[in-house]
Amino acid sequence: MTVSEIRTELERLKTSPEGVALMYIAGEWTAASDGGTRDLIDPGTGETIGRVAEATTADALRAIAAARAAFDGGPWSQTHAHDRAKLLFRIADALEANADEFARIETLNAGKPLRETEADVADAANCFRYYAGLATKPHGESFDVPAPSQTFTVREPIGVCGQIVPWNYPLLMAAWKLAPALAAGNVCILKPSELTPLTALRLAQLFDEAGLPHGVLSVVTGAGPVAGAALAESHDVDKIAFTGGTSTGRTIMQAATGNLKKISLELGGKSPNIVFADADFETAVDYALLAIYAGCGQVCSAGSRLILDSAIDDRFIARLVERAQTIVVGNGFDRATEMGPLISAQHLEKVERYIALGRSEGAKLVCGGGRPAGAADRGYYLAPTIFTDTTPQMRIVREEIFGPVLVVQRFATEAEAIALANDTPYGLAGAVFTQDAARAHRVVRALRAGITWINTYHPTYNEAPWGGYKQSGIGRELGTYGFDEYTEVKQINVNLAIEPSGWFAG
Ligand code: NAD
């Protein structure tokens, strides 16, 4: 496929006469109030692929005002769940009907290999379908209270939701947030990453065509400290849902205190992948690679710390390195590519700084560490990288690198493996590989993490809750938990004997 063929995908986006991709605010396709734009870069080539409107604070405030009006006065929150479900089913169908186009836009904008973006589009469609189904399912409870009262609960939408997402899964993270929020009757302002706004804008077109009332969804494209901060600070926003880095999460939480808005945070991780000597050897090697190199390591739940039984460490590391060196790193549009580029020149530099740091800290670099052999001159490519001989105090062991860099830690006993695994401020994910079922369950229960796997790594299901312990987040996405995060619970008490209470004598 030629670059111009790929670029034709962008022609379906709404643009200004100058070719700038427009934002979607209150049902209108609009430029930034000051005419500002941002260049978008293809991480696979370093080339500029287009320009997008760069929102000002005023643009974000306009989206918030429209959302407020749509929630307070509009029909959406009063719409019957059947109608909300119908619309979300239409979005799932429309995503599938345009799956190739969405995958190619995402690959062009985020650099991810097509096989990853194709899976992301399918997952996003299924997410909309899951929450379309959940919209009409029972959500309240009834309680046995003393007669003559009867008490039950209903779930109601929270209101205006600001939703801020990162660049590593631009479409999927938008789906995880929009689907439950809209299913529950909320109105949404989505703020995609400034690096990867294109699939979110295309998704807004699908909503527009599907008949979503204007103002119920706005997509505001722009910088985090401008457009994102406006959402976090506004007293007209009732809930903020954020996925991104832990330090940004902290800033957003502080900004949200003004009106004590509801908050959910999906943050970073440094997740342990524990391999015992009795694990199926080739399976454990294979998943250790998948754990860290899927998504080029730019995955919040990446298994970035391999916690390895010292009884097998030399043989395991030798095989791991042998296989890591065969991973095909390249442009996401090349069907042979197994691992794509990093998101940006700036992020590549950050990961390279961590590799230099690992060396200076005294860890042993046994694989990668630089540009992969045969990689294109341009584009932000890095070879699969492995450090051994680490200590728990090293920064490469403690900090989230968010790139294809694996650090190996060794253990002698089960207790030591658990202690190493939990020795982190993060608590997003973790896995254990062993053929001893009792040990597998013991170790997984001892992990202080929200998402765990036994003899596998990475599978994620719309049906099951996603989120972190400790500094990896607050709240859960997906499943019924993800729906509940977008609802308020109202208690309703009914008096079944309508007569005076008799509390006051007179
Ligand atoms: P980031 O925190 O830099 O940015 C995330 C989003 O926040 C972007 O849209 C950005 O514009 C916005 N933002 C930045 N500063 C802001 C501010 N002051 N106020 C409001 N919004 C602001 O993260 P990133 O670099 O885009 O993504 C990588 C990070 O995301 C990693 O740390 C990764 O672990 C995390 N992540 C977590 C999950 C999860 O489910 N836990 C999933 C994907 C990514």
129 CA distance to ligand 1 middle (Å): 26
Q: What are phi and psi of 478, to 5 degrees?
A: 70, 165
Tell me what pLDDT residue 77 has. 78
Strand ranges inside 325-446, DSSP E: 364-367, 385-388, 405-411, 429-433
Retrieve residue 300's tokens. Answer: 């919040």
Asked if the model's pLDDT at residue 7 lies above 80, the reply is no
CATH number at 272-454: 3.40.309.10
Task: Report pLDDT digits (tens) over 419-434.
Answer: 999 999 999 999 999 9
Q: Give the C-alpha separation, 427 to 269, whole Å.
A: 6
DSSP 3-state of 178? helix
pLDDT band at 364 (very low <50, low <70, confident <90, very high): very high
Q: Is 251 in the pocket of ligand 1 (CB under 6 A)?
A: yes
pLDDT band at 76 (very low <50, low <70, confident <90, very high): confident
Q: Is 244 in the pocket of ligand 1 (CB under 6 A)?
A: yes
Q: Is 272 in the pocket of ligand 1 (CB under 6 A)?
A: no
Q: Is 248 in the pocket of ligand 1 (CB under 6 A)?
A: yes
Q: Are 269 and 468 in contact (CB under 8 A)?
A: yes
Among 176, 12, 44, CA closest to 112: 44
**Helix, strand, coil proportions of the chain in percent (round to 5)?**
40, 20, 40
pLDDT band at 5 (very low <50, low <70, confident <90, very high): low
Question: Which helix (H) or strand (E) is 241 found in, with range?
Answer: strand 239-243
pLDDT band at 372 (very low <50, low <70, confident <90, very high): very high
The overall average pLDDT reported for the chain is 96
Q: What is the mean pLDDT of residues 233-261?
A: 97
Q: Are 159 and 131 in contact (CB under 8 A)?
A: no
Which residue's CA lies nearest to atom 26 of ligand 1?
166
Residue 305's DSSP bridge partners are 272, 407
Asked if the model's pLDDT at residue 2 lies above 60, the reply is no
Q: Is 50 in the pocket of ligand 1 (CB under 6 A)?
A: no
Q: What is the mean pLDDT of residues 445-465?
A: 98
Domain ranges of the chain: 59-267+472-490, 272-454
Which of these CATH numbers, 3.40.605.10, 3.40.1280.10, 3.40.50.300, 1.10.357.10, describes 59-267+472-490?
A: 3.40.605.10
Compute CA distances 148 → 24, 143, 231, 492, 505, whole Å.
52, 13, 45, 14, 21
For 75, counting Cβ atoms within 10 Å of its Cβ (0-12 exposed, 13-18 middle, 19+ buried), the class is exposed
Asked if the model's pLDDT at residue 125 lies above 80, the reply is yes
Q: Are 52 and 21 in contact (CB under 8 A)?
A: yes
Q: Is 337 in the pocket of ligand 1 (CB under 6 A)?
A: no
Q: Kindly give the pairing relationship between strand 48-53 and strand 142-143.
A: unpaired
Tell me what pLDDT residue 3 has. 59
Retrieve residue 82's tokens. Answer: 């059947």
To test the pocket of ligand 1, the residue of 163, 164, 219 to mutate (highest count of ligand atoms within 8 Å of its CB) is 164
Among 95, 88, 147, 142, CA closest to 123: 95
Residue 20's DSSP bridge partners are 51
To test the pocket of ligand 1, the residue of 173, 190, 242, 243 to mutate (highest count of ligand atoms within 8 Å of its CB) is 243
Q: What is the mean pLDDT of residues 423-452?
A: 98
Which residue's CA lies nearest to atom 40 of ligand 1?
266
Lowest mean pLDDT among 6-15, 254-263, 387-396: 6-15
Task: Report pLDDT digits (tens) over 274-311.
Answer: 999 999 999 999 999 999 999 999 999 999 999 999 99
Q: Are 306 and 275 in contact (CB under 8 A)?
A: yes
Question: Which helix (H) or strand (E) is 97 found in, with range?
Answer: helix 81-97
Neighbours of 314 (CB within 10 A): 11
Task: Report pLDDT digits (tens) over 216-241.
Answer: 999 999 999 999 999 999 999 999 99
Q: What is the DSSP string of 309-352?
A: ETTTHHHHHHHHHHHHTT--B--TTSTT-SB---S-HHHHHHHH
Which residue's CA lies nearest to atom 32 of ligand 1?
245
Q: Is the previous residue joined to 148 through a cis bond, with omega within 30 degrees of 0?
A: yes
320 CA distance to ligand 1 middle (Å): 30
Contacts within 8 Å (CB) and 24+ apart, 311-317: 311/277, 312/275, 312/277, 312/281, 313/408, 313/410, 315/281, 316/275, 316/281, 316/284, 316/285, 317/366, 317/386, 317/388, 317/408
249 CA distance to ligand 1 middle (Å): 7
Tell me what pLDDT residue 78 has. 83
Tell me what pLDDT residue 239 has. 98
Q: Is 199 in the pocket of ligand 1 (CB under 6 A)?
A: no
Q: Are 467 and 473 in contact (CB under 8 A)?
A: yes
DSSP 3-state of 267? coil
Q: Give the C-alpha separation, 272 to 431, whole Å.
A: 7
Which residue's CA lies nearest to atom 9 of ligand 1?
193
Q: Give the C-alpha separation, 202 to 354, whole Å.
A: 35
Q: Give the C-alpha separation, 325 to 348, whole Å.
A: 19
Tell me what pLDDT residue 6 has. 66
Asked if the model's pLDDT at residue 374 lies above 80, the reply is no
Q: What is the pTM of this model?
A: 0.97
164 CA distance to ligand 1 middle (Å): 8
